[in-house]
Amino acid sequence: MDITYMTTSELSDRIKYDQRTIREQLKDSVLFEGVHYIRPFGGRKILYLWERIEEDMLHGVSLNTLTLGM
């Protein structure tokens, strides 16, 4: 499976949420590290995993989804 990595700005354009909303309200409440986003090389930069986010938007988040992603 190909993975599309997106910055906060790119994700914002795609899902029509403000970048600030993504960072302050969605990240770590519905978008989880290791499932929906990664920090490459242990740095500060965040890259979102589009296919994971799209799947959860269409079908919802479940405990199974979260445990499989970790």
48 bridge partner residues: 6, 37
DSSP 44: S
Using a cut of 0.85, tell me whether the model's pTM lies above it.
no
d(CA 3, CA 12): 17
d(CA 51, CA 55): 6
d(CA 11, CA 46): 11
The 10s digit of each residue's pLDDT in 9-24 is: 999 999 999 999 999 9
Structure tokens at 3: 């993975």
The 10s digit of each residue's pLDDT in 14-53 is: 999 999 999 999 999 999 999 999 999 999 999 999 999 9
pLDDT at residue 65 in the model: 54
